[in-house]
Amino acid sequence: MARPVKKTPEQWKKEILDVAKNLFMSKGYEETSISDIMETVGGAKGMFYRCFQSKEEVMRVLGNQMFFDNNPFEAVRGRTDLNGLQKDREVLTSNNSATERNQMNLQALSILKDPHILTAAIEENKRILTPLWFELLEEGRQDGSIQTEYAKELSELLPLVNFWLMPSVYPATTEEIHHKYQFIVEVLSVMGLPLIDAEMTNIAEKFLTDISTKGRN
């Protein structure tokens, strides 16, 4: 009889991530335990902790993985048919249209109530997204499609907007969240970045309502 093939640590990690993603999406993050994940994977609970420190780390790794697998900034880089502002809008539209990633973001709302996890998430957004936004904003300034003297400041602000809109971070009603969104639209426009148009607002409406509901649970 052939011996079962021994899995490498990387194979275990991939299987745990794949199973966790499916369970988080189908059952919910809070309703999924580490035991649920490992029972589906077919491994001992100790193997989980050899690969990840916590369920929260799994969620963080999944979020990064889903972003980099379909990085909207990379998708517009080098496109000659779009100016800088159009690339910025395309990034925002693609990001907000990513249904699977948005569903995962909704599952992550509850863990952001933990100040340590929130701080880590903010730092990660700053590290990854700020330089990407700055590159596109500078491109828009160079081609004349964006008229602002605040490219650096805006590139630091944009990665933080989602946190401000989350009721698990800043408690707010559905109406207040939509009002905050309109505030962001106007602030960006006044700062020379008319980033959010009617199409983008239509796409964002459902997600804003979803986070207001999920974030208060």
CATH number, residue 49: 1.10.10.60
Residue 4 lies in a domain: no
- 96 and 160: one domain? yes
Annotate the chain with three-state secondary structure: CCCCCCCCHHHHHHHHHHHHHHHHHHCCCCCCCHHHHHHHHCCCHHHHHHHCCCHHHHHHHHHHHHHHHCCHHHHHCCCCCCCHHHHHHHHHHHHHHCHHHHHHHHHHHHHHHCHHHHHHHHHHHHHHHHHHHHHHHHHHHHHCCCCCCCHHHHHHHHHHHHHHHCCCCCCCCHHHHHHHHHHHHHHHHHCCCCCCCHHHHHHHHHHHHHHHHHHCC
- 94 and 124: one domain? yes
- Which pLDDT score is estimated for 4? 54
- 25 and 74: one domain? no
Long-range CB contact pairs, 115-121, < 8 A, 24+: 117/56, 117/60, 118/163, 118/169, 120/60, 121/60, 121/163
- 126 and 196: one domain? yes
Please work out, in degrees rounded to the nearest 5, the angle formed at the alpha carbon of residue 216 by the alpha carbons of 211 and 217.
Answer: 105
- Which pLDDT score is estimated for 112? 85
- Domain ranges, residue 44: 9-54
Residue 175 lies in a domain: yes
Low-confidence residues of the chain: pLDDT under 70? 1-5, 98, 214-217
- 113 and 151: one domain? yes
- Which pLDDT score is estimated for 5? 58
CATH number at residue 182: 1.10.357
Nearest to 37 by CA among 65, 8, 57: 57
Counted domains in the chain: 2
Q: Phi/psi of residue 171, each to 5°?
A: -50, 130
Residue 60 lies in a domain: no
- 19 and 85: one domain? no
Residue 193 lies in a domain: yes
- 120 and 24: one domain? no
Residue 61 lies in a domain: no
- Which pLDDT score is estimated for 1? 39
Nearest to 155 by CA among 91, 62, 76, 109: 91
Residue 145 lies in a domain: yes
Residue 185 lies in a domain: yes
Question: Can you give the pTM of this predicted structure?
Answer: 0.84
